[in-house]
Structure 1
């Protein structure tokens, strides 16, 4: 069983919890996992800033954090924390819908939990292609999914507080 728990600790953005859970479920199953427990928490930028300071020693908010919690040889377990505030501001900057921007962050976090990273240019390209694939699979038209994934020049997460 793939168990996805969605919690919203923000009041900036209305969310589709079913869609966010389905995104995680599809990504986890697509990576070959039959058992998983993933929690997704949506926060505002202030809360995300505090989490970044506490866990990563970053003094700024980011769009998403993911924490793998799995034991070796156990079912996939992890936590995704996404910022609705960052989704709203980035969506406005890039001309996207904030709900789709937030979905991108959850997809990105789930992909990290199943083993993708984006620390090198090659890995970042693979991550962006996976993001585009899953966004399209979730019903976002391909061209719009690509514009969500590539709003500007492709980057890696390392050193980039917004992607």
Structure 2
């Protein structure tokens, strides 16, 4: 009984009430399909990046595929699924989102990564990793269509890049507004 005279339902940490089970450990399955020949891919880094985003999400179970493609392929997919007649860096598709289970697909372009990395001043591998993080953030619910949500997305990208040990590129201007818009974090966000 507790102080109000009702029965207290307090379980010791190692005790579980009858009929209940311990919460399951997160279960993530991330697979990479390398469908291009422009860039050698470190598949383990891409998997680690997506798993990092998933681990912080509300999804205890997720199955994500990452297709690594060239610009003509991502251009065709962008036209087919989004009616956008141009190449892009990453496409993300939620295939299923029910009962705590997320199933999704990311498609990243190595040709775009090679071009953008040269402009930014970092490796194509790091640029591609950014695309995987960005796409995974979309899958777990981040949006970058409005300026206020764009700042949140950019801030999250920075968090995961840092967590993965990635130094920002020489030209980190794409994250400047995130540093300005996310209160109290500006010193932490930019180099």
Q: Pick the TM interval, shorter chain.
A: 0.7 to 0.9
2:7 corresponding residue in structure 1: none
Q: CA deviation at 1:71?
A: 3.8
1:47 corresponding residue in structure 2: 73
The yes-or-no answer on 1:34 pairing with 2:26 is no
The yes-or-no answer on 1:76 pairing with 2:102 is yes
* Kept after mapping to 2: 8 A contact 1:12/1:84: yes
1:22 corresponding residue in structure 2: 48
Residue ranges of structure 1 left out of the alignment (5+ in a row): 155-163
Q: Which runs of 4+ in 1 moved over 4 A?
A: 145-149, 151-154
Distance 1:34 1:152 in 2: 33
Aligned partner of residue 22 in structure 1, secondary structure: helix
Q: CA deviation at 1:152?
A: 7.8
Distance 2:88 2:64 in 1: 20
- 1:101-143 per-position Cα deviation (integer Å, ceiling 9, x unaligned): 00000000000000000010010000000000001101113xx
Residue ranges of structure 2 left out of the alignment (5+ in a row): 1-26, 179-191
Q: What's the TM-score once normalised by structure 2's chain length?
A: 0.74
The yes-or-no answer on 1:116 pairing with 2:142 is yes
Distance 1:123 1:55 in 2: 23
Q: Report the aligned-residue RMSD.
A: 1.9
Q: What's the TM-score once normalised by structure 1's chain length?
A: 0.87
Number of residue equivalences = 152
The yes-or-no answer on 1:139 pairing with 2:172 is no
Equivalent residue in structure 2 for 1:150, among 174, 179, 186: 174
1:157 corresponding residue in structure 2: none
